[in-house]
Amino acid sequence: MTAIEVRGLTKRYGPDTVVDDLSFTVEPGQVTGFLGPNGAGKSTTLKMITGLAVPTRGSVTIGGRRYRDLEVPLTEVGALLDAGAVHGARKARDHLLALAASNRLPLSRVGDVLARTGLESAAGRRAGGFSLGMRQRLGIAAALLGDPRVLIFDEPVNGLDPEGIRWIRDFMRSLARDGRAVLVSSHLMSEMAQTADRLVVIGRGKLLADTATAELAGQTGTVLVRAADPDGFARHLLAAGATVRDGAGRALVVSGLTSDEIGKLAAYHGVALGELTPQRVSLEDAFLALTEDSIEYQGVAA
């Protein structure tokens, strides 16, 4: 069953529409990256999914039901929205035991989640003395207590060192391999490129893209072509519907056709090609191109 369904979700604060008619689906067995520049409305959306904010319009369901209709929410959806939310004086194990008891979950789950997050040896220490990376692990352990099929993380790698970032990435992938649905927000494409199977990109509260990660990089790609008679081949390309620009050294920069289609066109016309290279647009570039109109404060190049 579909894990999270967001339909027409809208949130207004006074005159500002911060989430604007957003619809997307988060499937099980995948990491879905939720991307957008600062202030795009990611946290507000995640709060509406987890019942912490009330939509002005639209709906969100988890496994077909609204959050407020879930009997024991922790067993359906786990969320890490703010790693600082742990009581600093409490020992890590006690924090989890209290959470398990107040949600009527088996206390044996505490040992399971401590092991899964690599916190066993730190379980007797006070969370106040934890590094950011360990606090993130504790937050993730809490999110996993009810063994939910759906997990939501808001900017989980913010401020972490490279080792912490790698641990979180691997952990998200392992949760998806379990068959869980994992929704992770970030304002950096570079973080999501290696982790997410799908990307939902928003800007100023609106949906900009909902696509497989691999497709986004391919979408805006061009192909570099070298032919002995570039002008002659350019005419064939234009006739086939391509857009052609001049590149360096008499190369042709072609868009609108794949390298495979260009190769076949050359063979059909008996044209020998010296080069046929797909130009991969980086995901970072694709993300910037998508969001450039929705960045609140843009720097001005000198």
Ligand X SMILES: Nc1ncnc2c1ncn2[C@@H]1O[C@H](COP(=O)(O)OP(=O)(O)OP(=O)(O)O)[C@@H](O)[C@H]1O
| Separation CA 77–CA 146 (nearest Å) | 8
Least separation in angstroms between CB 151 and ligand X = 18
Q: What are phi and psi of 290, to 5 degrees?
A: -70, -40
Quick one: CA dihedral 174, 176, 181, 186, positive or negative?
positive
- Determine which residue in the list 22, 40, 105, 201 makes contact with ligand X, applying CB under 6 A: 40
Residue 295 binding ligand X, by CB under 6 A: no
Q: What are phi and psi of 76, to 5 degrees?
A: -110, -40
Residue 10 binding ligand X, by CB under 6 A: no
Residue 12 binding ligand X, by CB under 6 A: no
Residue 35 binding ligand X, by CB under 6 A: no
Question: Taking a C-beta distance cutoff of 8 angstroms, is the pair 62, 213 a contact?
Answer: no
Residue 213 binding ligand X, by CB under 6 A: no
41 versus 146: smaller Cβ distance to ligand X: 41
CB-neighbour burial class of residue 25 (10 A; exposed 0-12, middle 13-18, buried 19+): middle
Residue 204 binding ligand X, by CB under 6 A: no
| Separation CA 113–CA 145 (nearest Å) | 6
Residue 44 binding ligand X, by CB under 6 A: yes
DSSP readout, 98-118?
HHHHHTT--THHHHHHHHHTT
15 versus 129: smaller Cβ distance to ligand X: 15
Residue 92 binding ligand X, by CB under 6 A: no
- Residues of this chain, 151-190, that bind ligand X according to CB under 6 A: 187
Helix (H) or strand (E) holding 97: helix 92-102
7 versus 187: smaller Cβ distance to ligand X: 187
Size of the site for ligand X (CB under 6 A): 11
- Residues of this chain, 14-33, that bind ligand X according to CB under 6 A: 18
Catalog residues that contact ligand X under the rule CB under 6 A: 13, 18, 36, 38-44, 187
